[in-house]
A and B are shown apart, each in its own frame.
Chain A
Amino acid sequence: MTRDELEQALADLPFRLLRRLGRAIAGPPALRMGKRRLMHTIMAGAEANIERIEAAIRTHQAEQQALAAVPAPAGGASSEHKSGKPADQRALLEGIGVPEPRPFVPDDWQVEAVEALERGDVIVSVPTGSGKTYVAVEATRRAMHEDRTVVYTSPLKALSNTKYTEFCKIFGPEFVGIITGDRRDNPTAPILIMTTEILRNLLYDAAGGEIDVRLDTLGLVIIDESQFLGDPERGVVWEETIIFCPSQARLLLLSASIGNPQELAAWLTSIRPAPCHLVRHQHRSVPLRAGYLHPNGKLTPLFRTVTMPPSPSQAVLHPEAKRLFTMFEEDTLYARRSG
C-alpha cells in the first residue's frame, strides 16, 4: 500500500474507527481531535503502526461487504423509519383531495365517552380536530332528556360565541343561553354556554349561600380545552371550577392531547364521588403528512416516510429535505456574515 492509497483508505473509514486508531497511536489527546487532525496524526505515525492501520481498514471493508450482502429489512414497524428507501417525492401529494362522502358513523371512542358518562366523570384527551364536539353534543342531548341543566365552558369569549351559535343550530335558540363577562342571553335556559371564570363565580355564589336555581338541577358540566389547567395565569380558575363542581353533576373534560391525562383522571377519581373514565388516543381522523418547502418552490417530504414517525427518536429527515435545509442554512449564514 502506498502512502496515497493508505490516506485514501483512511479517509473512507468511519470516524469512530479513526478515533480508535488515533488513540492507539497518539493516546488520549486523539479523542479531542477532528477528522483532519486525526488523519494527520495517524499518517505521521503510520510507519510504526502500519499493521494496526491495515487491520482496521480490513475490518471496515469486511463490515461493508457483509452489510451489502444482507438485503434491507422489509419494512418492520420500528425499523421502517430508519432504514429502507426514502419515500418517493411524488408520494407526498398522493391521494390529496376530497374524500368520498360517507354517512357519519361515530367512532368507537366517541361512543365509549358518551356511555362512560352514565357511570361517572369522563376525560377526553384526543388530538385537535378529531371530533370532541360530537361527544359534547351527544352528552348534552342525553342530559336534556333527563331534564338536567348543562353548562358548557370554554376559555375564550370568542370560542363561547362560536359554540353558542353551533348549539343554537342543533338544539334551537330557546334552549340555549350564554353568559360572559358582559353578555347575558337567556340565562335560565337548560343549556348554558359561558367562560370558565363565570362558572367559577357562580359556584362561589352557590357556596356562599346565594343559591342559584340552575345549580340544583345541574347535571353535566362540560369543560372544553381543559389543558388550560396548566396555564400560568388562568389555570387556577379551571382547578377551582373542578374542585367546587357540585357532586351530583357529571364532569366532562375535553382536552387536546396532553402528556399526563392519567394523572388528571386519577386526581378526579380521588376527589369526585364516582370514578373517572379516561378516553384517549393519538389517532387523527384525517391523517397528517409533513412536507418541506424550499424557498425556491421545491416541495419534498420532510421525513423519510410519508407517514408521520411515531416518536422524535425515529424521525429521520428525508435526504432531499435535509440537503435543501443544509443548503438554506449555509446560504443564510453567508448572507448574514457578509451583512
Chain B
Amino acid sequence: MPPSIHPVHLVTVLRQKSLTPAIVFLTSRRSCDEALQAFEHATDPLSPARQESITAVLDELTATYPSLQDHPLRKMVTACGVAAHHAGHLPSWKIAIEELMRRGCLDAVFATTTLAAGVDFPARTVVLTQSGVRRDQDFTDLTIAEVAQISGRAGRRGKDSVGFAIVTPSPYMDLGVLIRGLTGRPEPVDSQFIIAYPMVLNLLKAHPLDHIQSILAKSFAQYQMNAQAAHLEHRIEKLHAKLESYQPRECSDWLTQWSAYGHATRQTAMKLQARRHHPPEVRARLPYLTPGRVVAFPRFRGIVLRRYRSRGQRHEMMTVLRKGGVVAESPVADIMGVIDRTFDFAPASAFPWATPEALSWLTQQLEDLPKHLSFLTVPPAPDEEEGEVVKSLGDLFPCPTCPCRPTCAKEFKAANTVKQEWLHHTRTVQSLRTGLWHKFQERAEILQDLGYLNPAFKLTADGEWARLIRIDFSLLITELIRAQAFKDVAPPTLAGLMACIAYENDRPGSFPRITAALASLVAATRRMADALAPYDDPPLLRADVGGLAERWVSETTVTWAQLCRSTSMAEGDIYRLLSRTLEYLSQVHSLQATHPDLATVAAEALSRIRRGVLEELP
C-alpha cells in the first residue's frame, strides 16, 4: 500500500538503526509475499560472508528436509537476508526460516499476524503495521493477548539488552488498539467447553450415567458458571429482601393479584371503548329504527329505508328517504326523535333499497303525513354493559373494595420491576447450575435413538467402536460406516472423502478433477450430513479439494511439485490438507478389530499418502 512504508525502505531503516533482526507482522499472506517481491529489485545484496553463512545453514538443513534443495525462494533469501513466513509455506521451509532467525542470519522476516502464536522465534524488533486481523471473513481488532504475543517476540534473552516494538502506520490502522495492546492487561481466559458426541460415548464407557454429573461439575465451564450463579444468587437475595420490605397486604400474593386485576380492567375498558360510540339516548332508539319507520330530523322528516354499519365505520348509519324523493345517508345520531308511524313497503336488495313503485308510494305518504305527530316515548337503554363489568371484576377480584388498593396502586410498578428481575435471575441461575448436565442428557438421548447406547445408557456394540472416532464430525463418519457407504471403497476415494470432510476453509481455487466414484460418495455423504443436521453441524464438505488427496493417493508416481502445479492452492495448505486427511484416516484405521476391511483400505491410503514431502516431516 503506497502510503505506508515501503518494505525495502523499512528494512534499510531498521538496518541503519541496528534494529535487526526484526519480524514484520503483516495482515495477509499476499502482503508478505508482495513485501518479499519488492526486494527482487533491491540494489544492495548481502556481504559474501553473510550469504555464505545462510547457505551453510540451508545446506545443513537440506540433509533432513530434501524439499529445501530446490525451493524457489532460496536464492532470494540468500541474496537479501529477508524472508516470508506464513501458513502458505511448507513446514520444512518454515523450520528453515526459524532456524536462520535463531542463528541470526536474517535481517527481517515478514510474517502474518494470524499465526503470531505459531511464530516461535525471537528477534530484536517486532514491527506492527496493522491493528486488525482477518477472522472468518471478518476483520476484527487484535486482542490484547495477541499484541502481547507479538511483542513478546521482541528481545532475545542473552542476545539483546533491549527489545523493540515498532509501530508503523498504514491506512485504516487504529493506533488506540495497538496502544491498548502494548500496555493493557490481557483478556481473561474463558471456558469453551462443549459436549461432543465422542465425549459422551467415552465418558459413558468409563462411568455409569449417575456419575457423569459429578464429572461435568469438575469442568472449568461449571466452575465459571457456578461463580456467575453465586454472584446472581447474592443479587437474588437482595431482591428478595427488597420484596419483603413491602408491607403485608390482605391477599398473600398481591403482585400477581394486582397485575391480573390491572390486566382485566384494561381488557374490559378496551371492550367498552369498542362498543360505546353512542350516547345512551341514541343507543335506546336503535331497536326502533326498522325499515319503514318515520323519523324526525331537526328541520324535516324522513322514512328509514335501511340501517347499516359499513366496515371500519364506528357510527351506525341509515339510508333515509326525504321530501321530494331524495335518498340520503345519515348518521343515526342526527335524528331528533322517532315518530310513532311505520309503513310497510316492498324492499329491494340494492340501492335505493326499495322497488321504484314502493319508493314513489313512500314519497307520496311522506308528503301526506299530518303536520303534528307525536314522538314515540323510547324507554332508556339499560346501562347493562358497564354494570356487568364492574360486577364481574368485583366478583373475581377483591381489589376494587380492598383497603390496600391505594398502596398497591402506588407501589406496584416499582415492586413489579423487582419481582421480574428476581424471576429472571432465578431462571438464569437454574440454567447455569444444570445446563451442562441437560446438554449431556440431550446428546446421550440422541445417541440412544441412533443406537449407540442401549436403554440403560451403556454402549452398544456400535457404540464400542464409534467411541474410537474422536475427531470433528465423528457422528457423520460413524453413521456413514454403519450405512455401508464405504463398502468396496478404493483407498484414493476414501482419502478424497476424508479430505473433503476435514477441509474447513472456503478459499476458492482450482483443483484436479474428482472421479465419478468420489463424486457419488461425496453426494451420499452430503445426504447423510443433511439428515444429521438436527443433531450436529454439517461440515463444509467441499468436493473439489478431494481431488488433490485422490490424485496423491491414486498416482504414486506424482511428485510434490507436480501436485502443486495441478492446483492454485498454496503449498502449505496442500500440506495441511493432506496431514489432516492423515489424521482422519488414522482414526478410521483404529477400527481394525470391528471393521477389518475398511481398516485395511485406510492403512493402504495412509501408506500411500506418506511419501515425498509428507514423509520427510514429522
CB distance from A103 to the nearest CB of B (A): 11
Give the complex CA separation of A255 and B151 in angstroms.
15
- Of A38-46, A112-120, A226-234, the one touching chain B: A226-234
Q: Which residues of A contact B4 (CB under 8 A)?
A: 295
Is A33 at the interface (CB under 8 A from chain B)? no
By the criterion CB–CB under 8 Å, are A97 and B18 in contact? yes
**Residues in B neighbouring A332, C-beta threshold 8 A:** 3, 171
A129 x B122 contact (CB < 8 A): yes
Within 121-150 of B, Cβ neighbours of A (below 8 Å) are at: 122, 124, 127, 145, 148-149
A31 at the interface (CB under 8 A from B): no
> CB of B467 within 8 A of chain A?
yes
Known: A181-B583, A236-B196, A295-B168. A161 touches B184 (CB 8 A): no
Do B184 and A325 touch (CB < 8 A)? Answer: no
Chain B contacts of A293 at CB under 8 A?
5, 10, 13, 127, 166-168
**Residues 598-616 of B contacting A (Cβ, < 8 Å):** 606, 610
Contact partners of B155 in chain A: CB under 8 A? 129, 284-288
Whether B160 and A308, one on each chain, are in contact in the complex, defined by CB atoms closer than 8 angstroms, is no
User: Once the chains bind, are A257 and B160 in contact (CB under 8 Å)?
Assistant: no
Is residue A175 within 8 Å, beta carbon to beta carbon, of the partner chain? Answer: no
Contact of B539 with A by CB under 8 A: no
Residues of the A chain whose Cβ atoms lie less than 8 Å from the Cβ of B529: none
Set of chain A residues within 8 Å of B95, measured between Cβ atoms: 158, 161
Which of B18, B223, B586 has the largest count of A CB atoms less than 10 A from its CB?
A: B223
Asked if B188 and A263 make an inter-chain contact with CB atoms under 8 angstroms apart, the answer reads yes
- A182-B583, A257-B148, A293-B127 given as contacts; is B164 within 8 A of A288 (CB)? yes
Q: Looking at the complex, which of A5-13, A54-62, A65-73, A310-318 is the stretch in contact with chain B?
A: A310-318
Contact A259/B3 with A264-B220, A271-B218, A288-B154 known, Cβ cut-off 8 Å: no
Tell me which residues across on chain A come within 8 A of B5, comparing CB atoms: 293-295, 297
Cα distance, A314 to B166, chains bound together (Å): 19
Interface presence of A274 (CB below 8 A): no
Contact pattern, A 166-190, Cβ under 8 Å of B = 1, otherwise 0: 0000000000001011110100000
Q: Which residues of B contact A204 (CB under 8 A)?
A: 202, 206, 467, 470
Cβ-defined contact, B167 with A291, below 8 A:
yes
Residues of B within 8 A of A208 (CB): 202, 205-206, 467
* A309: interface (CB < 8 Å): yes
Q: A96-B18, A182-B586, A229-B220 are in contact. Are A236 and B193 (CB under 8 A)?
A: yes
A-contacting residues, B93-108, CB 8 Å: 94-95, 98
Question: Interface readout for A200-230 with B: 1 if CB under 8 Å, 0 if not?
Answer: 1100100111000000000000000101011
Residue contact B182 to A290, C-beta cutoff 8 Å: yes
Bound-complex Cα distance A292 to B171 (A): 15
Report the separation of the CA atoms of residues A311 and B127 in the bound assembly, to the nearest whole angstrom: 21
Q: Contact string, B565-593, partner A, CB cutoff 8 A, digits 1/0?
A: 00000000000000100110010000000
Is the CB of B267 closer than 8 A to any CB of chain A? no
CB-based contact A158/B157 at 8 Å: no
A24 within 8 A of B: no
CA separation between A293 and B6, bound complex, in Å?
Answer: 12
Q: Report which of B189, B199, B618 forms a contact with A229, defined as CB distance below 8 A.
A: B189
A288 touches B151 (CB 8 A): yes
B427, CB-defined interface residue at 8 Å = no
Given A285-B157, A293-B166; A183-B618 close (CB under 8 Å)? yes
A131 within 8 A of B: yes
Asked whether, in the complex, the Cβ of B185 is within 8 Å of the Cβ of A288, the reply is: no
A190 to chain B, nearest CB (A): 20
Whether A257 touches B161, Cβ cut-off 8 Å, given contacts A181-B579, A312-B179, is no
From residue A232, how far is it (CB to closest CB) to chain B in Å?
5
The distance in angstroms between the C-alpha atoms of A201 and B202, with both chains bound, is: 10
Please indicate the chain B residues that have their CB under 8 angstroms from the CB of A259 in the complex.
185-189
Check A98 against B179 for contact (C-beta < 8 Å): no
With a cutoff of 8 Å between Cβ atoms, the chain B residues found around residue A227 in the complex are 145, 189
- A336 touching B171 by the CB < 8 A rule? yes
CA distance A256 to B179 in the complex (A): 19
Say if the beta carbon of B175 comes within 8 Å of chain A.
Answer: yes
Taking the complex as formed, is A111 at the interface, i.e. its CB lies under 8 A from any CB of chain B? Answer: no
Interface membership of A137, Cβ < 8 A: no
Does A77 interact with chain B (Cβ within 8 Å)?
A: no
Interface string of A236-277 (1 = CB under 8 A from B): 100110110000000000011111100110110011000000
Contact of B287 with A by CB under 8 A:
no
Residues 309-333 of A at the B interface (beta carbon under 8 Å):
309-312, 314-315, 317, 325, 328-329, 331-332
For A82, the chain B residues whose CB sits under 8 A away are: none
Looking across the interface, which residue of chain B has its beta carbon closest to that of A306? B162
Assuming the contacts A256-B186, A293-B13, asked whether A239 and B220 have C-beta atoms less than 8 A apart, the reply is yes
Contact of A129 among B152, B192, B583 (CB under 8 A): B152
CB distance from B212 to the nearest CB of A (A): 12
Q: Please report the C-alpha to C-alpha distance between residue A181 and residue B618 in the assembled complex, in whole angstroms.
A: 10
- A333 to B: closest C-beta gap in Å: 9
A156: Cβ under 8 A from any B Cβ: yes
Question: Is A292 in contact with B168, judged by CB distance below 8 angstroms?
Answer: yes
A159 CB–B CB distance under 8 Å? yes
Does B190 count as interface, using CB distance less than 8 angstroms?
yes
The reply on B17 being an interface residue by CB < 8 A is yes
Known: A182-B579, A257-B148. A201 touches B218 (CB 8 A): no
Q: How far is the CA of A232 from the CA of B184 in the complex (A)?
A: 22
Check A289 for interface membership: any CB of B closer than 8 A: yes
A267: chain B residues within 8 A (beta carbon): 220, 223-224
Query: 11 A-B pairs, CB-CB below 8 angstroms?
Result: A95-B161, A96-B19, A129-B122, A162-B98, A182-B583, A182-B606, A227-B189, A236-B193, A263-B227, A295-B169, A297-B5
Top-6 shortest CB links A-B: A128-B152, A286-B155, A235-B192, A259-B188, A260-B188, A207-B206
**Residues of A participating in the B interface, judged by any CB pair closer than 8 Å:** 93, 95-99, 101-102, 127-131, 155-159, 161-162, 164, 178, 180-183, 185, 197, 200-201, 204, 207-209, 225, 227, 229-233, 235-236, 239-240, 242-243, 255-260, 263-264, 266-267, 270-271, 284-295, 297, 299, 302, 308-312, 314-315, 317, 325, 328-329, 331-332, 335-336
Please give 6 more A-B residue pairs, beta carbons under 8 A apart, in addition to A96-B161, A204-B202, A308-B183.
A181-B586, A197-B470, A208-B206, A284-B155, A290-B167, A329-B169
